Amino acid sequence: MTAVQPQESKRQRAPSKRSLATRERVLDAAEAVFALRGFEGATIRDIAAEAGVPVGTIHHHGGGKEALFHQTIARRAETLSRARLSAIQRVRAEGPMTLEAVLAAFIRPFFELTDQDGGWRHYARLVAFVSVDDRWRALSAKFFDPTAEVFFAELLALLPRASRPQIAESFVFSVSAMLALLTSRERIGVLSGEDAAQEDQIDHLIRFCAAGLRG
Amino acid sequence: MTAVQPQESKRQRAPSKRSLATRERVLDAAEAVFALRGFEGATIRDIAAEAGVPVGTIHHHGGGKEALFHQTIARRAETLSRARLSAIQRVRAEGPMTLEAVLAAFIRPFFELTDQDGGWRHYARLVAFVSVDDRWRALSAKFFDPTAEVFFAELLALLPRASRPQIAESFVFSVSAMLALLTSRERIGVLSGEDAAQEDQIDHLIRFCAAGLRG
DNA sequence: GTCTATAATGAGATAGAC
DNA sequence: GTCTATCTCATTATAGAC
Q: Which of A169, A184, A209 lies at the smallest CB-CB distance from B204?
A: A169
Domain covering A76-214, topology: Tetracycline Repressor; domain 2 (1.10.357)
Q: What is the DSSP letter of A32?
A: H
Give the span between the Cα atoms of B16 and B78, in whole angstroms: 23
Percent helix, strand and coil across chain A, each rounded to 5? 80, 0, 20
DSSP per-residue letters across B45-73: HHHHHHHTS-HHHHHHHHSSHHHHHHHHH
Q: What pLDDT score does B208 carry?
A: 98
DSSP per-residue letters across B95-129: ----HHHHHHHHHHHHHHHHHH-HHHHHHHHHHHH
Give the span between the Cα atoms of B179 and A132, in whole angstroms: 9
The shortest C-alpha distance from A107 to chain B (Å) reads 14
Q: What pLDDT score does B196 carry?
A: 58
Tally C-beta pairs within 8 A across A and B.
148
Cβ contact A172–B184 (<8 Å):
yes
Closest residue of B to A129, CA-based?
B132
Q: How many residues does chain B have?
A: 215
Cβ contact B164–A214 (<8 Å):
no
The shortest C-alpha distance from B66 to chain A (Å) reads 13
Task: Please name the nucleotide lying closest to B46, CA to C1'.
Answer: C11
Is the separation of the CB atoms in B201 and B181 below 8 Å?
Answer: yes
Cβ contact A211–B212 (<8 Å):
yes
Environment class of A126 (CB within 10 Å of its CB; exposed 0-12, middle 13-18, buried 19+): buried
Q: What pLDDT score does B77 carry?
A: 97
Asked if the peptide bond before residue A96 counts as cis, ω within 30 degrees of 0, the response is yes
Give the span between the Cα atoms of B140 and B126, in whole angstroms: 11
Q: What pLDDT score does B197 carry?
A: 74
**Domain at B16-63: CATH code:** 1.10.10.60
Name which of B43, B107, B121, B173 to mutate to probe chain A: the one with the most chain A Cβ atoms within 10 A of its Cβ.
B173
In window 28-67 of B, residues with CB < 7 A from nucleic chain C are: 42-45, 55-56, 59, 64-66
The shortest C-alpha distance from B117 to chain A (Å) reads 21
Break chain A into its structural domains and give their ranges: 16-63, 76-214
Which residues of A are less than 8 Å from B175 in CB distance?
A: 180
Is the separation of the CB atoms in B9 and B47 below 8 Å?
Answer: no
Give the span between the Cα atoms of B151 and B106, in whole angstroms: 7
Closest residue of B to A185, CA-based?
B169
Q: Do B16-63 and B76-214 agree at the fold level?
A: no
Secondary structure (3-state) at A135: helix
Q: What is the pLDDT of residues A113-164, one digit of tens each?
A: 998 888 999 999 999 989 988 889 999 999 999 999 999 999 999 999 999 9
Q: How many residues does chain A have?
A: 215
Return residues with beta carbons within 7 A of strand D.
A 42-46, 55-56, 59, 64-66; B 13, 15-16, 18-19, 22, 53-57, 60-61
Q: Which residues contact A42 (CB under 8 A, 6 or more apart)?
A: A30, A33, A34, A36
CA of A51 to C1' of D8 (A): 29
Q: What is the pLDDT of residues A81-108, one digit of tens each?
A: 999 999 999 999 998 999 999 999 999 9
Q: What is the pLDDT of residues B21-79, one digit of tens each?
A: 899 999 999 999 999 999 999 999 999 999 999 999 999 998 899 999 999 999 999 99
Cα A89 to its chain centre, rounded Å, is 19
Reported as a pLDDT band with limits 50, 70 and 90, residue A194 is low
Is the separation of the CB atoms in A52 and A62 below 8 Å?
Answer: no
Give the span between the Cα atoms of A79 and A86, in whole angstroms: 11
Q: Distances in Å between the alpha carbon of A31 and those of A116, A138, A172, B48, B138?
A: 16, 19, 25, 33, 24
- List chain D nucleotides near protein: any atom < 7 Å from a Cβ: 1-6, 10-16
Q: What pLDDT score does B185 carry?
A: 78
Nearest alpha carbon to residue A84 among A101, A97, A72: A101
Cβ contact B172–A179 (<8 Å):
no
Q: What is the pLDDT of residues A6-49, one digit of tens each?
A: 433 444 467 778 878 889 999 999 999 999 999 999 999 999 99
